[in-house]
Structure 1
Amino acid sequence: MLIDNRKTGKVGDEIKQHLQTDTRLSVISALFSLYGYQTLKQQLEQCAAVKLLLPQTSSDTLFPLQNLTGDRYELHRRNQLIQAAIARQCADWLQNSAEVRQIRKEAGVSQNLFHLQQPDGNALAIQGNASFTSTGFGYSESDQYFMNMKITEPQGTAAMLEWFNAIWNDHHATTDIKQQVLQQLNHLASDQPSELIYLLTLYHLFSGSLDELTEERIIKSKTGIHQTTVWNKLYKFQRDGVMGAIDKLERYNGCIIADSVGLGKTFEALAVIKYYELRNDRVLVLCPKKLRENWSLYTLNDRRNLLADDRFNYDILNHTDLTRTGGFSGDINLATLNWGNYDLIVIDESHNFRNTPDAKEGITRYGRLMNEVIRNGVKTKVLMLSATPVNNRMNDLKNQVAFITEGNDSAYKEEGIASIEQSLRRAQTRFNDWLSESPRTTESLMRSLNFDYFKLLDMLTIARSRKHIEKYYDISEIGQFPQRLKPQNIKADIDTLGNYPPLKEINNTIRRLHLSAYSPIKYLRNDKRAEYSRKYDIQVKGGKSVFRQEDREQSLIHLMRVNLLKRMESSINSFALTLQKLLNAVEQLLHRLDSYQGISGKSQQQSTESLFSRGGTQLSGDHYHGLDDFEVVSYLILLSPQPN
């Protein structure tokens, strides 16, 4: 019978069922842990005799402590902090009831065996990969697959016992280690000095940062960073941010600098760039188009460039350049650019990459950056800058972290994060639960979030506020931060004469606008809808659902209505100008539509060309080839009545 610790039963349950008073137990196990004893303690105490055969795992004379304290799946049991009591009980049991021998490495026994010989002559043997641990017995959850065979036939159980005794009685293959195991158990059971516990706590808290980069080590690295202009212009807290970023780039291949607005993320990034340029690394800066001039200034021989002496030589591209296959971006020819030859990528406003939208055709900016820049060519480190890396969901971090890990969800498994996606998902779930609490406190949120989420943030992010700088740094160097005045809520009418209509009425009027220019697909002929759906509808979530072009256009119309309200909020004059432009566009189109039938001396093709050209100028016939079905008229209808 198969026992897999899942569907077909648990090894521990079978042993409990057959472990009667005065049963003789013989065990060969690759592991022996306190918590395996704990789960079967009541039944093991009834045994008449126990023989334990354990493998030799090292050349040390003492049995390894780590074997006794359990495997990685028994962590939840260690966290109960009752290890000393269990060790004391286990030592008493072994002292009174058990013999323990060790199989030398040369013997090479690779099978686990549990043999139970009952007083009435019946016997049970379980052979497979289950060991003497709570995991092997099936009482601690794990991702392991177990395959163990249960044998109850007398001939089979007798053969198993004979095989066990042959190994046990071979004194060239085994040696007695009972005293060594008892010595280790007594050590676990003894009280430890408080100083040792304190030092061990400090070590486990800070062992990961003992070899972090410091300013002294950066200077000794012979890069010359200490002599650069940008380094000497940084404040102390900014230098610490630079050193932390370099450390994370070297350790984990990436970093997100998420300092608050105004703390100098750009200058910190420039110092990191200079550090890698001094190592002869090639650097690419990706930024929004509106910020390109900010970055390009530091590469120019210009009197406005405060860092001209450092002679920065990084490349600059816009975020949108990632979707282009040709043309120039500044001096860079996108058609011939070697995307995979950058050692460091700096992404300004990296929160723009928090989503991975699907593209109907071509490649998205996220896909180009991941596949052709980061995964392709040389090993690429990623530095991201964003004051708001998380917008609405904690999962916003996932796609940004994926740049650092090259999409490997288990990249930090050795750091205690088995799955980045699952860590972020658990954090979001607990955050959602916290939102429903009353009252909500920051302390309760911090207690509820999972530890691996904080571990991930600590590994990859640098996030400091002005309060942090004021608390931990000497602000006499930089001076006081501006004090934010308490906001004053002033409610006033839009105009004092009361001639302006109520906002609710304006909103209702805007909602009545069809804005059909933004939803042309709704006006297609029925026999054309399937064709255009194939062209513009996008499959998402691996084909599980479809994002229809018609739905996208309706969303755009709602957005435009909101934008009209926001325009009114910012400036009544701007609001009026925008409405006038919309009205002019409608009137021009209506005039063209009304005059379509009245164009004399022209064919339908020529009249169509006049209708759809700017100012009625003639275009080439090829441009409107196939327009005789007049399907494109719908694309230019603005604010027309919606069809029933």
Structure 2
Amino acid sequence: MVIDNRGSNKTVFEWIKEYTGDGTLDIVTGYFTIGALNRLSQVTNGKVRRYRFILSDIVNVEQPRSYTIDLLNQNITIEASFKLRTTAKEVVEFLKQSKVEIKTLEPNFCHAKVYIFDDKKDDRLKYFIVGSSNLTEAGIGLQKTSNIELNIAETGNNNQYRELQRWFEELWSRPEAHTQKSFRDSNGKIYKKDFKEYLIEEIENIFTNYTPKEIYYKILFELFGRELLREQNDPNLVREIGKLENTAIYNSLYDFQKKGVLSLIKMLENYNGAILADAVGLGKTWSALAVIKYYQLKGRETIILCPKKLENNWKQYLKRRNSKFQSDEFDYIIRYHSDLFGDRLEKGDIDFSYLQSDKPKLLVIDESHHLRNSKSNRYRFLVEHILKPNQDIKVLLLSATPINNSLNDIKNQFNLIAKDDDSGFSNSLDIKSLARTFGVAQREFHRWLTSENRKISQLIEKLPSEFIRLVDSLTVARTRNMIKNLQFPKKKRPQNIFITPKSIGSFKNFKDLLESLPPKFTAYKPAYYIEEKDITYITKNEKLRDRALVKMVYILLAKRLESSWKSFYETISKVNHYHQTIYNLAIQYKTNREDIAIREDREILSSDEVFDDLSIGKREIKLSQIDSSGQLDNFINDLQQDLKSMRKLIENLEKFDEEITKEKGFTSKDTKLEKLIEIIKKKQKSRNRKVVIFTAYTDTAIYLYSELEKRGIERIALIHGNTKNYEPILQRFAPYT
């Protein structure tokens, strides 16, 4: 009979349970698990007179003793692990019986698997099972597995049965079959020990009572022990870390930052990349500077890619700028995310060939989540023109929000480290495919997200091990809660105060203001006025792009209005100016028939991150193209309607601006400003009088600074995106100053 532990046929275990009676049982197996041996003993021990086991050389003389116990327990299920202590005790009692004999083969390895039962009363009840099944849960059919087993089982005292009996007796009597096992002690001396006694001791270790502290230390050692031992045995790493520990930047860090820096360095050394995803305010810039200093000491060039608005965050620490870290003499190249296009990276004395040279480099990408779209022009440019051409480049990514909408966001960050190679971590982390790993992880995340009473532990249990291994190996991420004992002040609950000016001219509320916005924003969608059949290169995609652009302009204006009426005023004035310019060009073309190209409003398109995912390019549409489509008059009329709407808006905003300008004291028609002044005045009466006001837009910041200063709020400073040297201001504002 064929037994493969599948279908309607019996499993190996079911066969043994049903057909084993009064007799002897001989077993040859490569190795066994405690659970399988326990189940076997439970169904046969009361009937079998004598057991003989032959085990292969499951632990050779060079292997650590702990390897045995790994074999004895491998593939154990979560449910079985809770019963392991009881199971181990029962197996030890079984093995201690005199009727249980065990031998091991040394130095040979036996791949044979056979079960031979000799019934002492009836030859018809003898049986054998021979094939692929080890004495494990999976091997004898106690546990579902993807492994395919194949065995032959027969009953009766036939020729095959007798041949197998003779084969077993010969194997049992061979010189290689020993009741003792060889081991090597710490001095290299080989000694022997009774193999059955050895197995019993190893299994007894499972139900040794350990204190929680001992278990905790054991877990720590299993997680980090090999890494710590490897570091201690790497004199070069120890020496380089020693140099870093003598720098100004390293000694300015909190302990948690120092530990993070050391972890990042190890990740960069082992995998050529790392992600620092600490929460906002935990000093990612300084931590990154320490990593930069480590590699600067090793002679590696550093290139920093950051949003343009963060340039001074990095520039202020360069050598000869009299910074806090002047003695470290930081030297690195700063480029912007927006430079990832054409020849924009070539500035000063740095040409493109240098960025692709063979010189070892460290690439630091600040706000790396802006490069989460693997199909964007910037992402592709970075991969094709910087990462792939450099044979020796390490990538450090900084982001407090590496995941935005899906796990694919952080997958694309890992892809940068792997130079867009889907199998880039195959050798280092045994991850065959990033796409497949994250595909499984995203599906499990979605299932978890839509389930009721979900818990984080349930998600972690379902995520693929490759995903967990990748994240653990390449990310450092601490929350403020993790380090809350490091002198962080106690925070009060935030207060949300919803206040807007009661009226702006004839507009009584924000709703009226938003409803009076231009109906079409015509100047931003010229592609709508071109017939595709006449102009072949103006595609449907261009029209979709223009429609998206108009929606983004609406969003931009709503965000500016939410920030302050002043920011809205400045922005709608720029939009109006652009529309007026396009209108004048259209009238000029209609009068003179001199063709003119409509250039995009670069000032608006570069003014807010809302446009970051829009592929802007350098598209130009000529008025002659609109004219040849018969749409010029419609284009001009729609521009007039938009200008008319904006004129009414701007007139009301101008009057409101005049009223605010004339104001003095702490009351104002801008009720939002008035409430802010009230909060500041109250704060100035407390022991800690410092106030920091964050706003998303420069227009709002300048407006608030001007109004607060005018109304008598003293010792006030302004920092915005165009502020060049703000370090002195930050230092004066810092705690304990």
Smaller-chain TM-score bracket: 0.7 to 0.9
Equivalent positions of 1:436-455 (< 5 A) are: 437=453, 445=456, 449-450=460-461
Paired residue secondary structure (2:355): coil
C-alpha displacement at 1:63, in angstroms?
12
Instruction: Please give the residue correspondences for 1:286-297 in structure 2 after superposition, counting only pairs within 5 Å.
Output: 286-297=305-316
Where does residue 658 of structure 2 map in the other structure?
none
Amino acid at match of 2:133: A
SS of match in other structure, 1:320: helix
Is residue 2:558 matched to residue 1:565?
yes
- Equivalent residue, structure 1, for 2:261: 242
Aligned with 1:389: secondary structure?
coil
| Alignment partner, residue 181 of structure 1 | 196
Per-residue CA deviations over 1:159-202 (Å, capped at 9, x if unaligned) read: 87257436524422323469623552355347966457743541
Preserved contact between residue 516 and residue 638 of structure 1 (Cα < 8 Å): no
Structure 1 contact 29–55 (Cα < 8 Å) conserved: yes
- Residues 20-73 of structure 1, C-alpha deviation per residue, up to 9 Å, x if partnerless? 434765433211111222454554445565443211134459996644553542
User: Which residue in the other structure is 1:344 paired with?
Assistant: 362
Identical positions, percent: 24
**Mapping of 1:218-297 within 5 angstroms?**
220-221=239-240, 224-250=243-269, 253-297=272-316
Aligned CA distance change for structure 1 residues 48 and 381 (closer, same or farther; 3 Å): farther
Deviation at 1:332, TM superposition (A): 2.2
Contact 2:85 2:207 in 1 (8 A): no
Aligned partner of 1:399 in structure 2 is: 412
CA contact (8 A) 1:63 1:181 kept: no
> What is the distance in 1 between the residues matched to 2:629 and 2:360?
48
Letter in 1 for 2:352: L
**Aligned residue number for residue 497 of structure 2:** 490
> 1:340 deviation in Å?
5.8
Q: Is the contact between residue 343 and residue 380 of structure 1 (CA under 8 Å) also seen in structure 2?
A: yes
Deviation at 1:133, TM superposition (A): 0.9
- How far is 1:270 from its partner? 1.5
Partner of residue 358, structure 1: 375
| Residue matched to 2:140 | 137
**Which amino acid is 1:569 matched to?**
E
Q: 1:79 matched to which residue of 2? A: 81
Q: Cα distance, 1:87 vs. partner?
A: 4.2
Q: Could you tell me how far 1:483 is from its partner in structure 2? A: 6.2
Give the direction of change, closer, same or farther, for the CA distance of 1:551–1:62 in structure 2 (3 Å limit).
closer
Q: Which residue of 2 aligns with 1:619?
A: none
Of the three residues 325, 330, 337, the one matched with 1:312 is: 330
| C-alpha separation in 2, matches of 1:454 and 1:483 | 33
Measure how far apart 1:564 and its partner are.
1.5
The correspondence for 2:214, drawn from 181, 199, 219, is: 199
Q: Give CA deviations for 1:573-620 in whole Å, capped at 9, x if unaligned.
A: 443444454445545555665676665xxxxxxx36257699xxxxxx
Q: Contact 2:116–2:165 (CA<8 Å) still a contact in 1?
A: no
Counterpart of 2:28 in structure 1 is: 28
Tell me the distance in 2 between the aligned counterparts of 1:625 and 1:532.
13
Contact 1:124 1:151 in 2 (8 A): yes
Work out which of the residue numbers 380, 383, 389 in structure 1 matches 2:396: 383
Cα distance in 2 for partners of 1:592, 1:528 equals 22
1:503 counterpart (477, 501, 510): 510
Report the residue type matching 2:113 in the other structure: N
Alignment match, 2:595: 609
CA distance in 2, matches of 1:562, 1:3: 68
**Structure 2 partner of 1:546:** none
Q: Specify whether residues 61 and 258 from structure 1 end up closer, same or farther in structure 2 by C-alpha distance, changes over 3 A only.
A: closer
- The question of whether the paired residues in 2 share the 8 Å contact of 1:248 and 1:255 is answered with yes
Partner in structure 2 of residue 630 of structure 1: 628
Shift of 1:390: 3.6
1-side partners of 2:331 and 2:248: how far apart? Answer: 15
* 3-state SS in 2 of match to 1:101: strand
Partner of 1:540: none
1:290 alignment partner AA: K
CA distance in 1, matches of 2:447, 2:535: 44
- Seen in structure 2, the aligned counterparts of structure 1 residues 90 and 263 have a Cα distance that, compared at 3 Å, is closer
Match of 2:72 in 1: 70
Match of 2:75, SS state, is helix
Change (3 A) 1:157 1:316: farther
Tell me if the contact between 2:365 and 2:398 (Cα under 8 Å) persists in the aligned partners. yes
Tell whether the 8 Å contact from 1:430 to 1:449 is kept in structure 2 after alignment.
no
Report the Cα offset of residue 269 of structure 1: 1.7
- Indicate conservation of the 8 Å contact 1:286/1:348, yes or no: yes
- Equivalent residue number for residue 438 of structure 2: 421
Higher mean Cα deviation, 500-509 or 58-67?
58-67
Structure 1 residues 280, 595: closer, same or farther in 2, change over 3 A? Answer: closer
Counterpart amino acid of 2:55?
L
* SS across alignment from 1:130: coil
Q: Could you tell me which runs of 5 or more consecutive residues in structure 2 were left unpaired when the two chains were aligned.
A: 182-193, 601-620, 642-737
Please give the alpha-carbon distance, in whole angstroms, between the structure 2 residues aligned to 1:592 and 1:369. 38
Q: Separation in 1 of the partners of 2:535 and 2:113? A: 67
Q: Residues 624 and 571 of structure 1: is their aligned pair in 2 closer, same or farther, counting only changes over 3 Å?
A: closer
Please report how far the alpha carbon of residue 447 of structure 1 lies from its aligned counterpart in structure 2 after TM superposition: 7.6
Per the alignment, residue 683 of structure 2 pairs with none
Q: Residue 168 of structure 1 corresponds to which residue in structure 2?
A: 171
Gaps of 5+ in 1: 476-480, 537-548, 600-606, 615-622
Cα displacement string for residues 50-102 of structure 1 (whole angstroms, at most 9, x for unaligned residues): 44321113445999664455354225355314334344246426736644332
CA 454–583 in structure 1, closer or farther in 2 if over 3 Å, else same: same
Distance 1:611 1:420, change over 3 A: closer
Whole-Å Cα distance in 1 between the matches of residues 9 and 24 of structure 2? Answer: 23
SS class of match (2:97): helix
The Cα of 1:349 is off from its aligned counterpart by 1.5
Aligned residue for 1:545?
Answer: none
Secondary structure in structure 1 of the residue aligned to 2:134: coil
Q: Tell whether the 8 Å contact from 2:113 to 2:132 is kept in structure 1 after alignment.
A: yes
Counterparts in 2 of 1:193 and 1:238: CA distance versus 1, 3 Å = same
Count of residues in Structure 1 that have an aligned counterpart in Structure 2: 589
